[in-house]
A and B are shown apart, each in its own frame.
Chain A
Amino acid sequence: MTASSVLAATSNSGAEIVFWVCATLAVIGAVGMILSKKPVHSALFVALTMINLAILYVALSAPFLGMVQIIVYTGAVMMLFVFVMMIVGVDASDSLIETIKGQRWAAIVLVLGFAAMLIGAIVNGLQGVPDPSLVAANAEYGGNLQGIAKIIFTDYVIAFEVTSALLIVAALGAMLLTHRERHTPKATQEERSKARFLRYAATSELPGNLPPAGTYARHNAIDTPALAPDGSTVPASVPGPLRERGNVRPVDVAAEVEVEEISEGKTVVAPINDEDGEQR
């Protein structure tokens, strides 16, 4: 009743339908983000929410905000998230078993109570709130974008300017936590090559490339060791830090049996494309 009363002011039943559809989808996206077990699904759910919010903006005559919402959040931020997850290879490996007694039930009860109270308060508060549409404002400034520009550079100019401080801090923080500086000069290709062959001379360690993590294995995640043609694992294919911390994913028995069968010719497999000569 209330939302309809809000939108009734616009006397636009089309906008009302849009609101209910998009708002529902946005909430579904938000809840789905929390409930889904795979991070990628969560990210996609967020994208769903963002898109629906964008549609709501457009429906409220704020097309610029709607576009920015899609371009920045859905397009840039969320896709970046998905890329990162794909590259790092995170899958649903985090344990989702709740160890704190009563945590989930308490959380559910509290969330429901909180939501009920807030909804009650907001429903109460929406009585007689005027038309939320920006049609009038847009008309005054000659467009949505012009209106926003005016406000950003007059009333909120300080907020706008100091947001740059926030962005600098964010960039600086990202650098601080992730940027790897070298404490020794980087060895040139020549030096490394020489060292490789000297090592070969000394220890007979082959100078060629190691297989990357996940070669022939069931996963291509970075913690999965490559399998040599004889089915044994190549621990050196997993990055050193992971090995140090014992985070190497063991090759499961099924995979070993499978590899053995392949090597004995019991299972027919498609020929491996080894034109890049990665394996030794």
Chain B
Amino acid sequence: MNSLLAAGTSPEFALPSIEYRLISPILLVLGMAVISVLVEAFVPRAHRRVVQLVLTFSTLIVALILVVMLAGQRAVTAAGSLAVDGPALFMQGTLLVLALMAALLVAERGVDPAGDAFAARANALPGSIDEREFTKRGWLTTEVWCLFLFSVGGMMLFVTGTDLLILFVALEIMSLPLYLLAGIARRRRLLSQEAAMKYFLLGAFSSGFFLYGSALLYGFAGTVDLGGIADAITANAGQNGLLIAGTALIAVGLFFKVAAVPFHQWAPDVYQGSPTAITAFMASCVKVAAFGAMLRIMYVALGGVRWDWRPMFWVIAILTMFVGSIIALTQTDVKRMLAYSSVAHAGFLLIAVVATNEEGLAGAMFYLLAYGVATIGGFGVITLVRDSTGEATHLSSWAGLGKRSPWVAGAFAVFLLSFAGIPLTAGFIGKFAVFEAGVAGGAGWLVVAAVLASAIAVFFYGRVIVILLFSVPAADGPTVVVPSSFTAFAIAAGLSLTVVLGIIPQPFLDLAEKASIFVR
């Protein structure tokens, strides 16, 4: 019915039924994003930060409450373009929790003596007199809050959309603000701008693939609706090049967003260059959103041809796990190392996509939550370790941090242990759930490969822990700044969630399992 070709039965104009209650969280976030643009325009500079903070946090919290109230709903609304179902709501909830934590990091103004993590004015040339003047006056780029909210809204839409058109629009709403946010770091601005430029160029390239793939799938099915594509596959089970090519190109677009090898190369550069708070946001939330959309497309629309795309996913998953883990071994920059670690995690998560079963979906949702909280916590710690030029991200300057700041180093060690999948941390349960689903889904050897890759990964996480806790501290090492309660709260939340999800995961696993049915 969504087709341009097959016209509807009635030419009269009938308003589509939109159940606004079901999509109220998304509408709230996007609507408040628009309002926050107005705040930029009309509120005096001195009050903008406070207003934006109140607006952002209250929006995210209210949206989270709305999502929780919608729990258990299963419906397709807005003329078949949005599917409010278990996975969508679970991932919206995850996104909002992670976004709240990331927002705490973004709001931090206590660790950098010059202000927050963002350039005073993004358009002042790096190193110019203007820049110094803006900095001296303590101006803040409060536009980050508008961009932040837009991006969160795009992500929520991305995990909810159930036709290719809305998915593409959501992809862009999610990505565009991130391209901007990546480029406006206060420190090392040229690196930040370079990162943003690369992210933008390559992101546009990948969007091209996604769009072309959507067009080809439309050519195959005559509809962009995911359910419609599935029906077309059932009806037209024979050989079809459009379907194959469309599947491939859509997958390429999504692989880029989740940073799967060989579409991952932007990740280290961008993670390193972006303001660390934004890196935390990007690393956790984009992964959730992109995997949410990938799972929905691959399960709902393309589940019927899973025997065709599974081998390709095997190849990419194995490449991703191993290349990510192995390159991470020799990284000397903490942010780059976490970037490669995130690449490796994308590989583990791809197993859940390959599994194409209920356990796979539930496992991936749990994994994303576990990975997200640890990621934000980890990057939160990175913002605290500073020297005179800003964050000290070189691994050598982290040596022996445990001696001087046992709490901070201990927290970081817990996050790394969770990444490594050591028992009693959230990461272990997540990995186990995903691996188990992989075995159940007939991908036993892929899981064996994943276990080997995890063993390699344990080495580099272990290496950092050893450097952190057992090395002799460097004489002129960086100091660990005492943050304001924003960052402290974010790290504490990450830490407690990581431990709680590791020790009493069952309620969360049950929740994920209950939510693990797509509606179409």
Contacts and interface: CB of A to CB of B under 8 A. Distances in A.
User: In their complex, do chains A and B touch, with some C-beta pair under 8 Å?
Assistant: yes
Interface of A: 117-118, 120-126, 129-130, 132, 134, 136-137, 140-142, 147, 150-151, 153-159, 162-163, 165-166, 168-170, 172-173, 175-181, 183-184, 241, 244
Nearest to B134: A183
A141 B11 contact: yes
A175 B134 CA distance: 17
Interface in B136-180: 137, 139, 141, 143, 146-147, 150, 153-154, 157, 163, 165-166, 169-170, 172-173, 176-177, 179-180
A137 B11 CA distance: 10
A155 B13 contact: no
Given A154-B14, A155-B16, A157-B16, A176 B81 contact: no
Nearest to A120: B241
B245 A121 contact: yes
Given A173-B147, A178-B123, 8 more contacts: A117-B245, A121-B241, A125-B216, A125-B241, A126-B241, A165-B173, A168-B37, A169-B177
A185 B241 CA distance: 63
Contact of A121 (B34, B125, B242): B242
Contacts of A153: 13
A244 B216 CA distance: 51
Contacts of A151: 4
B143 A165 contact: no
16 contacts: A118-B245, A125-B216, A141-B7, A154-B13, A154-B16, A155-B1, A155-B79, A156-B165, A166-B169, A166-B172, A169-B180, A172-B180, A176-B147, A177-B122, A177-B183, A241-B128
Contact of A159 (B8, B169, B180): B169
Interface in B1-41: 1-2, 4-5, 7-8, 11, 13-16, 18, 23, 30, 33-34, 37, 40
Given A125-B220, A154-B15, A157-B18, A180 B81 contact: no
A154 B79 contact: yes
B82 A158 contact: yes
B176 A122 contact: no
The size bracket of the interface on B is: 35 or more
Contacts of A120: 241
A267 B244 CA distance: 70
A132 B4 CA distance: 10
A130 B5 CA distance: 9
Contacts of B133: 183-184
Contacts of A157: 16, 18, 78-79
Given A118-B245, A150-B13, A165-B30, A241 B125 contact: yes
Best-surrounded residue of A142, A147, A181 (most CB of chain B within 10 A): A181
Contacts of A118: 245
A125 B242 contact: yes
A233 B245 CA distance: 59
A121 B33 CA distance: 42
Contacts of B169: 159, 162-163, 166
Contacts of A123: 241
Contacts of A154: 13-16, 79
B510 interface: no
A176 to B, nearest CB: 5
A168 B150 contact: yes
A176 B220 contact: no
Q: Which 10 pairs show the lowest CB-CB distances between chains A and B?
A: A125-B242, A124-B241, A125-B241, A121-B241, A121-B245, A158-B78, A159-B166, A140-B7, A173-B180, A169-B176
Nearest to A180: B123
B388 interface: no
A165 B154 contact: yes
Contacts, number: 144
B173 A162 contact: yes
Contacts of B14: 154
A173 B176 contact: yes
Contacts of A244: 128
Given A157-B16, A162-B157, A125 B7 contact: no
Contacts of B242: 121-122, 125-126, 129
Contact of A156 (B81, B153, B177, B179): B81
B298 interface: no
Contact of B143 (A117, A155, A176, A183): A176
A158 B79 contact: yes
A172 B143 contact: yes
Interface string B399-428: 000000000000000000000000000000
B414 to A, nearest CB: 36
A267 B62 CA distance: 79
Contact of A169 (B2, B147, B220, B243): B147
A122 B30 contact: no
B194 to A, nearest CB: 14
B389 interface: no
Contact of B170 (A136, A162, A169, A176): A162
A134 B5 CA distance: 7
A120 B240 CA distance: 11
Nearest to B225: A155
B369 interface: no
B399 to A, nearest CB: 35
Contacts of B34: 165, 168
Contact of A155 (B81, B153, B170, B173): B81
Nearest to B177: A169
A88 B242 CA distance: 43
Contacts of B311: none
Contact of B153 (A134, A159, A165): A165
B72 interface: no
B123 A177 contact: yes
Interface centre among A129, A130, A142 (most CB of B within 10 A): A129
B180 A155 contact: no
A155 B2 contact: yes
Contacts of B16: 154-155, 157
Given A165-B153, A173-B176, A159 B81 contact: yes
Contacts of B183: 177
Contacts of A163: 169
Contacts of B23: 158
B241 A176 contact: no
B5 A137 contact: yes
B128 to A, nearest CB: 7
B239 interface: yes
Contacts of A117: 245
Contacts of B1: 155
A222 to B, nearest CB: 15
A121 B220 CA distance: 12
Given A165-B173, A173-B176, A122 B245 contact: yes
A126 to B, nearest CB: 7
Contacts of A158: 18, 23, 78-79, 81-82, 166
A183 B137 contact: yes
**Most chain B beta carbons < 10 A, residue from A125, A126, A180:** A125
Interface string B56-94: 000000000000000000000011111000000000000
A170 B15 CA distance: 29
